[in-house]
Amino acid sequence: ETGVTQTPRHLVMGMTNKKSLKCEQHLGHNAMYWYKQSAKKPLELMFVYSLEERVENNSVPSRFSPECPNSSHLFLHLHTLQPEDSALYLCASTGQKGEKLFFGSGTQLSVL
């Protein structure tokens, strides 16, 4: 266990559905991240939250909407996704930006 928990582990959704991914960290960290991992590609940074404030958005499409209600919880709200959005979505946290990240197990998302 890394101290970062993601739910659900697997998600299948249609292009018109709305769903949310949840991440919770029990490490007392003050920065949390969403990454997208597609086959044969490096990890792609989507969003960064530091002290509950979004500090980086890396040009992610608006069909992905993050929410960070407190330093321990992070959500990724999904709506009208495309099949190419199918990927493993990883949450991570750190106590010091730019250093070791602690990852959750990810949500494997399939968009039909």
Partner 1 sequence: GESVGLHLPTLSVQEGDNSIINCAYSNSASDYFIWYKQESGKGPQFIIDIRSNMDKRQGQRVTVLLNKTVKHLSLQIAATQPGDSAVYFCAENPPGYSTLTFGKGTMLLVSP
Binding residues (CB under 8 A) for partner 1: these are: 2, 4, 6, 31, 33, 40-43, 45, 48, 50, 55-56, 90, 92, 94, 97-106, 108
Amino acid in the structure at residue 16 = T
Closest approach, Cβ 98 to partner 1, in A, equals 5
Closer to partner 1 by Cβ: residue 15 or 55: 55
Backbone angles phi, psi at 40, to 5 degrees: 60, 25
Q: Are 55 and 49 in contact (CB under 8 A)?
A: yes
In the complex, minimum distance from the CB of residue 9 to partner 1, in angstroms, rounded to a whole number: 8
**Neighbour tally for 9: CB within 10 Å:** 10
Q: 11: which 2 tokens?
A: 């998600």
* Least distance to partner 1, CB of residue 77, Å: 21
**Residue 10 phi, psi dihedral angles, 5° rounding:** -135, 145
CB closer to partner 1, 2 vs 65: 2
Q: Which is nearer to partner 1, 77 or 97 (CB)?
A: 97
